[in-house]
Structure 1
Amino acid sequence: MFYLLFPTLISVASSQSVKVTLGPLREEQKASTYVGNIASATSISRDVTQIEFTTLRFDFLDPSDRETHLFSINGRSGALFTQTMIDRESICPEMEECVLKFDVTVSSEVTAFLRLVEVSISIMDINDNMPTFDTDEITIDPLPTAIDRDTGENSVQKYKLVSPSEPFSLNVEKTLNNKFRVSLVANSVLDREKQDRYTLLLTATDGGPQPMTGTLTVHVNVTDTNDNSPTFTQQDYSYSVVETAGVGDVVGKLTATDKDIGKNGDIRYTITFPPRDTRGRTLFAIDQFTGEITIKSPLQYDAGKTFDAVVEAKDQGDIPHIAEAAVTLTIVNVGNNAPRLEVKLQKTVFENTVLISEDAKNSTFVGKLTAVDNDPGASGKVDCFSAHPNFKTDNFGEYYAIIMNGSLDREQAEKIDVKLVCTDAGSPPKTASSTFHVIVSDINDNAPVFSQIQYVANVTEENIVGKQILKLTAEDPDAGINRVFTFSLFPKENSVFSIDRDSGILKARTTFDHEVEKRLNVIVLATDEGHPSLVSTATVVVNILDINDNYPEIITRELRVPEGGGSMKYIGKLEGSDKDSGLNSELVFSMPPTSDISGQTFKVNPDGVVLALQELDRETRDKYILHLEVLTVLVEDINDHAPFFHFPTQRNKTVSFLWSMPVNREITRVNATDDDLGENKTISYFISSKYNKADLFGLDKTTGVLYLRRKVKDTDDQNHRLMIGAQDWGVEPRESEALLEIIIDVTNATFSALDGRDPEEKYILIAGGVAGVTLLFSVFILVIIFVIRRGNNSRSSVPPGKEPDWQLVKTGIQEECGKGEVEKVVAWRGSDADIEFKDFDEGEPDGNFSLHSQPDVTKIGIDGTSKKCLGEGSPWNSGKDGGLQGQVVLGLGSDPYRKHDFYTFCK
């Protein structure tokens, strides 16, 4: 294991910039090898207290750097380890010195402590590579041998080179099958550049008694081998170029020659800068054929700099030879230039963009800004600042630290563009700028917000269990999971109300009684799913509305009065009560007509005042019993309000959807309300047919959901105007209309052809379906009407002799009678009265019923056409009806709350 040898603190400036060198680190060490400790090497561990040290965080400035991929750092202790096995030859090829450099930030999670550490690690070479040849083997073919058809001694016995044979000789070998292998051997090095051709005479002699000799003339062409290296005209070149030179201009030209021919003498040039000199490679290039050094990019930001490079001249032989020459390139400063900026951001999500949480504390380190200006004197002094108020730059000497200068709020700005500006001190000053982007990540810092702090809902008593009371809405400005919330009740155990956790619909779990509880309060919670979760509350006030479900009572049971006083003497005032509220508790007193002495002696006014009709004499009679009742006045609803649209409205009437929306998908939802009650309040929605000729849209008559009936075609208009109607369910229905404008978004739209069916066939199918549904609906309506008619005609009359006990009872006023005509409402229950109903059809000219009671109420007739009741001789006809003296207009109907023995008479 190879450990840190000598960490060296290069400088600790007051600007909080630190340079440290670790190593040397031997290559080929296994992963997780300890390299050194940033905290101890920089004396940070000694500069802060132990408590503050526990708040420090060690991070790589740019984790995407090639060098940082090789290492890992302990964020708490500052210990540095290898991330993988390091191969020096891969990261520093053919370099005598291999030093890896990267930046580490040290910041506190609590305080404003910040250090930037420039780390250098020297990688030491080990002998882990062996020398190699370019090829593993090489083969030289032998010379051809002579052919002799003789055998034995008469065959070829020897070979000889006839003079001049220099510089060659023969190598003759006899094989096991008495054959010869002849090779031509060069006795000295051949130099093509001195002699490129030799002619030799090869003889072959047999062993016969009279030896015979054959000859072969051998021409030896000396082919070129790559035995010469290119040669530069000089070993060192130096060129100067002004900073204003343009891209493509030639700085200088290097020339090399090679004595070889062909590809062995074909030279290519390359220029190489030191591995750390990335700027030189950006500024200069060389033409591989001509050796001309040219400018690749503008030079003004590097004025005054000198760049050293090596130019190689390499031939194209199979085993190429290379020559090198040193080149010095100097950029001459001829004027004042703007600074050159380089920004390095910490933890970038993509190019030039950093992700910062909105809860990041003030002074959080963001990145590093380097400003370079090579101009001389004041023109080279640079000052930098941030143009965004939430960020600032701190001068660390050779560079600036970009840090936060305030808090961020994602709900106010999700993306921030930060502009950094640097200006030199020249005259006139030159300015350069660079902009990076900040994406503010969300934290759960906002609770859901209800649309109202307090909701008020009205619910009629004796409601249906499960009835929707109202729908609560809320919004959460956070993002992602932090903006997802659910509704609940507080306390959670609630036997009166329930709420849907997702939709916020509040429902009743029980039946309310206005006389027991007139108002209920419930607290609703909206809780998001962030960590930690945030909660907001809203109060719902539920008013329990009264219905006329209680009989009135007379509290006064006895009145005392001195005798005498004459006619119309004030006896007293009756007190009564009704558990109901409002109009349902307003009482009218009366005394039913009677023939006994009490009825002839006293009069009861509607307000409860009792008067004597004649002088009272105790000696004649000291006690009277009056049979009294009270009457509750109830105002019932008529359909006097048309539906009112909340959407669409004149100011808000436009919606849009994408052309590719699926069929039957909701586009929007229209909404209207009606201030009436019951069926007068129930609304059905429809589209005026003349505005939906393309049959593209459908409207749910109950929910008001507008949806797409079919796919959008390329022949459809992009803009549509629909007249939406809303009609209540009253006997004489009222309706309202509102204009809805629809825009079909056809961005990047491509329409596919219709399917195989003929369009006319489609329309026939659609028309048939609509006709079938209409027929079924009509049959359904007719059945309902028939059932209702049979129910009306089945009402039986009260048999003679079974007269009910009639007395003054409570009933309601029908608004249909006309508000100006209503005087009072009565019904009787008496021992000598009977009521008789005769069946009638509202289409017949004269359906009637009769009420037999006192002589002053003789007959009430019903005009079946006008649906009005005509009565004669009413005892409460005060003549206020003008021309209707002696005749009263009455209406008959059952009590809306269906209480037994309740009937409504209206004038």
Structure 2
Amino acid sequence: MVFIWGGAPRSPRLLLPWLLLPALWAAGRGQLRYAVPEEAQHGTFVGRLAQDLGLELAELVPRLFRVASKERGELLEVNVQNGILFVNARVDREELCGRSAECSLHLEVIVDRPLRVFHVEVEVEDINDNPPIFAETEQKVLISESAPLDSQFPLEGASDADVGINSRLNYVLSLNEYFTLKLVKKDKSVLPVLLLRKLLDREETQELSLLLMVIDGGKPELTGSAQIQVSILDVNDNAPEFGKPSYKVVLFENVPNDTRVIQVNASDPDEGLNGEISYGIRKILPRSENCQFSINADTSEIRVYGKLDFEENNAYEIQVTAMDKGIPSMVGHSMVLVEVLDLNDNVPEITMTSMSLPVPEDAPVGTVIALVSVSDRDAGANGQVSCSLPPHLPFKLASTFRNYYSLVLDSALDREATAGYQVVVTARDGGSPPRWATASVWVEVADVNDNAPVFAQAEYTVSVRENNAPGAHICTVSARDADAQENARVSYALVERRVGERALSSLVSVHAQSGRVHALQPLDHEELALLQFQVSARDAGAPARGSNASLQLFVLDENDNAPALLGPAGGGARSHALARSAGAGHVLTKVRALDADSGYNAWLAYELQPAAAGARSPFRVGLYTGEISTTRALDEADAPRQRLVVLVRDHGEPALTATATLLVSLVDGAPSPKLSARASAGRVGAEASPLDVNASLMVAICAVSGLLVLTLLLWGALRCCGAARSEGACAPGKPVLVCSSAVGSWSSCRQRRPGLCSAEGPPKADLMAFSPSLPQPREDELNHHSEVSN
């Protein structure tokens, strides 16, 4: 066997005799054996492989000299030029063979021509290149504090990847007062064991840290170490102990539920379950159903469970326990004193008892309305209560006893001003901030019949056309009573009086409930132009109260009367004699007529009926005066007898007419007129003089027209208010003055008053004032008319 050592090659002379013999021996056997140390560097010489196999260097290449290996062939390589085997890569024995005692690499050397195969074995020698190591650099050992002396505690040993003496190990323990190291052989290894030499106390020393060293047998020595953590296990030999024998806490009442009261603290020098404490409450004094206390078994926080109320209990004693979880468990005790402070948490309570409701409005001052009592469950100033009322009420509070009051009337009542009062009593305690409560009572003021009905108008002015239908609605009166219920229920009635020969109730009536005024029969303007009466309104109270309103009823004229002729013409034809020598403008006579109507209906106009066809009459009649005069001088061609027909027409709608017939005889000279009558309507007396007739006619016309105009203007003013009021509503107004002009036209000189209206429908905007457009009379006519009027 040939051994090749790493390092510097030895002298060839010294090695040659030794190398030849093993090579020859190996060649004879067909196998070579070399040795190389592990961790040899690249290029380290292993052996002269070609020479040892007896091969010539010159034939290595031609014979394809080569090396093959089944395992890790890249570790060794051969130089085909000189046949030397050398290290090609780092060789790690522990990697190749582990802890095996023998470790070799097997090579096959092949040459051709002829083919030959040689076997080469290269042994890898171990060096002390691996220190001993522990599987864990830190070992934990658990030992009960009650362990007896000389107790043994095995430790995990170290291991060394080397072999032989390089893997022989020895252990050393760091100095300490509790343990020594004992080595125990087991199989081919040595195990370290801790030996207890002093009793343990976990409460004194909970943990020990030791250093265990290991040394191998190589040259040089390599070492390793491990940290030994000795944990001393607890024994439940201590009871939990509170920091204080008692605790005191001050809380305000009404703190929220689950409010933290206090966190007690107990300690146990033991550990683990022996030192884990569970807290509990053993007893709470005094007992309360509304308020309890709970403690968290783990955190020891005590919290309020329920409602803490000073008015129920002002202090509590809580007995607290602390128990560890050891076997057997041990218990500690303490006391928590909870003082409850009062808060102004109770509002005053108000009780009101009504005595006399509703209160008559004529109740005297000092009448007791209600009784008031107040209370407050708080203590001290928080329970002192005072009462008050809102300002400006006709009531006051009178104190009768502590926390008792009377609500009394302080001033006179008037239901019509205020029908009732919401009386709010406020009770306020003396806390800071104060609390208050309110209670209210509705004080209804009962009505007393102290108000009479009041009409909407003290005086009503209405109008109605004459010839109205029986039962026609005239207007509606209305009265209001400020009282209530029966005291405000109003009924209407006429204030009876005589109207001429008749009773007022035969002409008009008023509905007792609605106040509608009706005409019971047709009214005649010519008979009764103005009707004045009173309507009374009376309530249903006891005693009843009443008032009156005046009503002026104007009967408006309608054109229901035809003109009536005065004098001889009123009863038939009238004869006149006229001298042919009369010139133009000579007044022959004057036709007189009156109309019983008023206003337009009584305004008369005169017309001369045309003569026969082709005849030209020499006469004409004044349109409004009725004077018949000549229009020209008479001549022989005029007929000796002239028949004149005068039509008298009023201005009503439709117009009514009357006719007067005059027979005129034309004579020579100036004879006295003779009268002869031919009846068309009846006989009349002797003719008056023209001057007297004209004067009487003017006076009559002015008198009748004045009354008519006054009626029309009042009627027109009444109709003016109809647009602003509902049907039948009326208002007072001034009469309207209508004046007659000198020529018989009508002009308005009235003043409006907006309260006038008519019961017959919407009012007219105004009363028409007219001055008819007429042909201007000749100057001689005007002068003659003036003379006649004078």
Do the structures match in fold with TM over 0.5? no
TM-score class, shorter-chain normalisation, is 0.3 to 0.5
Structure whose alpha-carbon radius of gyration is higher:
2
TM-score (normalised: structure 2): 0.35
